[in-house]
Amino acid sequence: MVKIIQEKTSPQSKKGVDMQLLVGMENGADGRPLAWALDHPGCYAYGADSAEAVVNLAPAFLAFKAWIGRHTRENWLADIRDVDVHLSEVWEVYNIDENYNATPDGSYEVNAWFRHDWKPVTRLDVRRGLQVLAFSRADLLELVQGLPDEILDRTYPRERWSIRGVMGHIAKAEWWYMDRLEQAGVASQQPARKYI
């Protein structure tokens, strides 16, 4: 069962609801709305508009829960049955120029930085985040294993990067995250590094 409730403040627990899914709405990410499950890094959904993105997040969360379960017997989401979806924050993406001035034709897109993101992470948050990164990396490497260079380097209409470009971006982003967790030495030894 999924309930969708829009609130501007932090929701209070409701009796009978197993979990509240706090949603951060990022409007304009690559030109479209993106709903983030704030307490579950890696869980998100797009939509044609913000409302559809929020609605799409509930089934995306259930798929995320199943995906975690396929990767570990210690699925920290396994016992969740009912999800109460709360839209807690909205971010409007904007662009800046080289002088950090907000301008519609700026070359740099400023993506979501929700108030929820300011919270300090716990050791458990870090452990689970590292697991999600490892699960994602394993799935991605399995998908591209054996692809020839001409496929890895092919570009596609309306796509920013080739497959190799996406892999390189992911490897750099993973290193950046790991560096912030003082784990960059571990990240530099991962197989995805060969795609940079």
CA 182/CA 178 separation, integer angstroms: 6
Last residue of a domain, one of 63, 91, 118: 118
Q: Are residues 66 and 137 in the same domain?
A: no
Q: What is the pLDDT of residues 79-93, one digit of tens each?
A: 898 888 999 999 999
Q: Say whether both 144 and 186 belong to one domain.
A: yes
- The reply to whether 113 and 25 lie within a common domain is yes
Same domain, 35 and 85: yes
Domain ends where: 58, 84, 118? Answer: 118
Domain shared by 101 and 142, yes or no: no
* CA atoms of 34 and 46, how far apart (whole Å): 5
Q: Are residues 79 and 134 in the same domain?
A: no
Amino acid present at 158: R
Domain shared by 160 and 92, yes or no: no
- Tell me the two tokens of residue 179: 């560096």
SS3 123: helix
What token pair was written down for 157? 């209409």
Burial 170-194 (b: 16+ CB within 10 A, else e): bbeebbebbeeeebeeebeebebee
Report pLDDT digits (tens) over 137-195. Answer: 899 999 999 999 999 999 988 888 999 999 999 888 888 888 887 777 765 555 555 55
Range of the domain at 53: 2-118
Final residue belonging to a domain, choices 86, 118, 150:
118
Same structural domain, 46 and 78: yes
In this prediction the pTM is 0.78
Instruction: State how many domains the chain has.
Output: 2
- Alpha carbons 163 and 153: distance in angstroms, whole number: 6
